[in-house]
Amino acid sequence: MQSYSEDILINGIRNRDDGVFKYLQVKFQDGIRLMVLEMGGRPEDAKDVFNEGLIALIRLVDKEDFKLTCKLGTLLYALCNKIWKQQIEKQTAARNYHLRKLDTTPTKDFSENYDEELFKDIFWGCFELLDTVCKEILKGYLKEISPMDIAKSLGYSYGYVRKKKSTCHSYLIQMIENNPVFVKIQNSEKELTPVQKAIAVDEG
Given the complex with another protein, which of 99 and 201 has the nearer CB atom?
Answer: 201
Given the complex with another protein, which of 48 and 99 has the nearer CB atom?
Answer: 48
Given the complex with another protein, which of 15 and 99 has the nearer CB atom?
Answer: 15
The least distance separating another protein from the CB of residue 76, rounded to whole angstroms, comes to 8
Given the complex with another protein, which of 36 and 99 has the nearer CB atom?
Answer: 36
Question: Whole-angstrom Cα distance, residue 204 to residue 194?
Answer: 15
The least distance separating another protein from the CB of residue 71, rounded to whole angstroms, comes to 6
Question: Whole-angstrom Cα distance, residue 105 to residue 10?
Answer: 38
For residues 179 and 126, the answer to whether their CB atoms sit within 8 Å is yes
Give, in degrees to the nearest 5, the angle at Cα 154 between 124 and 70: 70
Burial of 115 (0-12, 13-18, 19+ CB in 10 A): middle
The least distance separating another protein from the CB of residue 68, rounded to whole angstroms, comes to 8
CA distance to 40, 89, 92, per residue, from 97 (Å): 20, 12, 9
The least distance separating another protein from the CB of residue 99, rounded to whole angstroms, comes to 26
- 1 membership: H or E segment, kind and range: none
